[in-house]
Structure 1
Amino acid sequence: MHSFAMNSREFLQALMERAGDTANSLARKAKVPQPTIYRFLSGTAAEPRVSTFEPIARHYGVPVEAFLSDRARADMVDAIFSGMPGKDAPQTSVVSSEDIPIPQFDTGGKMGNGLELRDQPGMIKSWHVDPEWLHKNVRGASAATNLCIVTGFGDSMKPMFNPGDPLLVDRGIVTVEYDAVYFFRVCDEGFIKRLQRIPGRGLTAISENKAYEPWVVNPDMDFEVFGRVLKVWRSEDF
């Protein structure tokens, strides 16, 4: 079968084959009960909870979304096992074992019908970086496996970044602990704004572009933080 058609079970099997893991060794390394892994691989149980997939994803250096979303999984299969034609092919990787994949944030997997990102001019699918680049260029990430790429959209954050520019987001930060730029949603619309707690007003969303007025995130809004923006790259045309 084509690698893009892998389901979550086949994806885990491919990762295990690539690393030379058995159900026992994976259970030991990821600290997940061996019977849970065995039942999932054998098809005798439903897919485990997200909390079960998380340590497995960390062990293999992939985002947990790759186990939960067909779209995210297809991107990771392409990145890790690119050019391998069959189901049994993922025995040798064409990607360096030291490479760190930074996938696109999966907007489709976060909401039932997809997350709306207004005025997004295409998408950056994924990056691969080496540990040295990560060490020298990214500070304060919760974990390398929590990093993802969001393609800039709209003009409300100009001049911080332009539509189409890459933003590095840490999905491990899902609460607003302090003033920073966050990627979040209200209902089914996504936003990138500076979130600041202002006494007497509450949590306020602030744009860099002063043509946009600040607005308050009310407690009754369907609000969710996807991650904190760690780094942006601002493009210039020549």
Structure 2
Amino acid sequence: MDDMTLHRKRRLRELISAKPYLGNQQAFAAAAGLSKGRVTQLLDPQDSFGELSAKRIAIKLELGDPRYFELGFTSDSAAPVKLVGLPSIAKNSSDLVIPQFDAGGGMGGGKLLLDDQPGVIKSWHVDHEWLRQNVRHHTGPQNLCIVTGFGPSMRPMFNPGDPLLVDRGVTVCETDAVYFFRVGKHGFIKTLQRIPTASGLVVRAKSKNPDYDPFDITADMDFAVLGKVLTVWKSEQF
């Protein structure tokens, strides 16, 4: 069997093992529009898993890229596999690779603008014990990504260039917290506060830096929550 097919099967196993399926092949099959028997075939090392089948599943599950199962492929069997867009288990390693947020994927075709971004952090390699000890509440390792802090509006919470761990499995503002979101094509990292009013619930975006005024998210805005900020690491210059 060729290396690309093995790579697709590895990606498939990781996807089924993660939330929301947690290893439930029947649930995955239902979501992907497949029979459980077909999923078993795709996982079987002796059966094929071709490009067309992979693309159909990626599109059906809305994984963000029709080439999802090919992402991160390398012909070097000794090198770690860096999977773009979702965390993965590095090849020949128990490390978890937490990738940089895909700014292109944030717009579904266009590029999300992150103003005043001083470079980016490409990815983190961590072990599962680190994740268990430091990030106890998240929707699944496959939903974690790194966003490099941009702009001064959230000082002193973090500085531009600091790493933020974001959970992309959170796509609605259900509680007051710090979120990574977009309005139009512009990205923001701010506290979103739910404020009840006589005319309904208002979501207010607030900065930590008092030099920046809050603003309300209104129904006519092209607004989307891209993830919830779980942890930030603030840098100090010496």
- Same fold flag (TM > 0.5): yes
Q: Secondary structure at the match of 2:129?
A: helix
Equivalent AA in structure 2 for residue 14 of structure 1: H
Task: Give the drift of 1:41.
Answer: 3.3
Task: Give the drift of 1:47.
Answer: 2.0
Equivalent residue for 1:198?
Answer: 195
Equivalent AA in structure 2 for residue 145 of structure 1: Q
Runs of 5+ unmatched residues, structure 1: 1-9, 55-63, 85-92
Equivalent residue for 1:101?
Answer: 97
Equivalent residue for 2:112?
Answer: 115
Percent of residue pairs bearing the same amino acid type: 47
Q: Secondary structure at the match of 1:101?
A: strand
Contact 1:53/1:67, CA 8 A, preserved across alignment: no
- Work out the number of aligned pairs and report it: 205
Task: Give the drift of 1:225.
Answer: 0.4
Equivalent residue for 1:168?
Answer: 165
Task: Give the drift of 1:110.
Answer: 2.2
Q: Secondary structure at the match of 2:154?
A: coil
Relative to total residues, which structure has the larger helix share, 1 or 2? 1
1:216 aligns with 2:216: yes
Q: Secondary structure at the match of 1:220?
A: coil
Match of 2:144 among 142, 147, 150: 147
Task: Give the drift of 1:120.
Answer: 0.3
Equivalent residue for 2:174?
Answer: 177
Equivalent residue for 1:60?
Answer: none
Gap change, CA 1:53 and 1:101, over 3 Å in 2: farther
Computed over aligned residues only, the root mean square deviation of the Cα atoms, in angstroms, reads: 3.8
Gap change, CA 1:94 and 1:215, over 3 Å in 2: closer
Equivalent AA in structure 1 for residue 215 of structure 2: W
| Structure-2 separation of matches of 1:98 and 1:214 | 43
Q: Secondary structure at the match of 1:234?
A: coil
Gap change, CA 1:46 and 1:66, over 3 Å in 2: closer
| Structure-1 separation of matches of 2:103 and 2:237 | 28
Task: Give the drift of 1:49.
Answer: 5.0
Match of 2:9 among 16, 38, 42: 16
Q: Secondary structure at the match of 1:48?
A: helix
| Structure-2 separation of matches of 1:18 and 1:226 | 23
Runs of 5+ unmatched residues, structure 2: 15-22, 43-47, 81-88
Q: Secondary structure at the match of 1:135?
A: helix
Task: Give the drift of 1:208.
Answer: 0.4
TM-score, normalization by structure 2: 0.72
Q: Secondary structure at the match of 1:134?
A: helix
